[in-house]
Amino acid sequence: NAGVTQTPKFQVLKTGQSMTLQCAQDMNHEYMSWYRQDPGMGLRLIHYSVGAGITDQGEVPNGYNVSRSTTEDFPLRLLSAAPSQTSVYFCASSYFRVTVDNEQFFGPGTRLTVL
């Protein structure tokens, strides 16, 4: 199993550009989520999905879109990048809900810089 994979590892964008961060898992997990990590703020939930075709907003959804057409993939789209979106982005997955019996597995992260 590859676990949770993310591409790209690094990306530099100019303000106003759009891009998609890719996330895939091969563990047949129903639950997938996107976080951003900023210094001194821990990880904040952007969007999450409890299964194909079902998504919902987290704490900081503005400026980001998601869709879940398959169980394996959960891409994150930045529609018009802004410097405030400079961050490290992590994708995570778990079998279903995140409980003590359903561990959440994290990808290696994508470091995004918006100039």
Partner 1 sequence: GDSVTQMEGPVTLSEEAFLTINCTYTATGYPSLFWYVQYPGEGLQLLLKATKADDKGSNKGFEATYRKETTSFHLEKGSVQVSDSAVYFCALSDQRGFKTIFGAGTRLFVKA
Question: Which residues lie near partner 1 (CB under 8 A)?
Answer: 4, 31, 33, 35, 40-45, 48, 50, 56, 58-59, 90, 92, 96-100, 102-104, 106-109
Smallest gap from Cβ 110 to partner 1, in A, equals 10
User: Looking at beta carbons only, is 14 or 40 nearer to partner 1?
Assistant: 40
User: Looking at beta carbons only, is 35 or 81 nearer to partner 1?
Assistant: 35
How far apart CA 104 and CA 55 sit, in angstroms, is 17
Smallest gap from Cβ 115 to partner 1, in A, equals 22
Smallest gap from Cβ 103 to partner 1, in A, equals 5
2-4-7-11 Cα dihedral, nearest 10 degrees: -130
Q: Is the peptide bond before 39 cis (omega within 30 degrees of 0)?
A: no
Three-state SS at 83: helix
End-to-end CA separation in angstroms for the chain = 36
User: Looking at beta carbons only, is 17 or 106 nearer to partner 1?
Assistant: 106
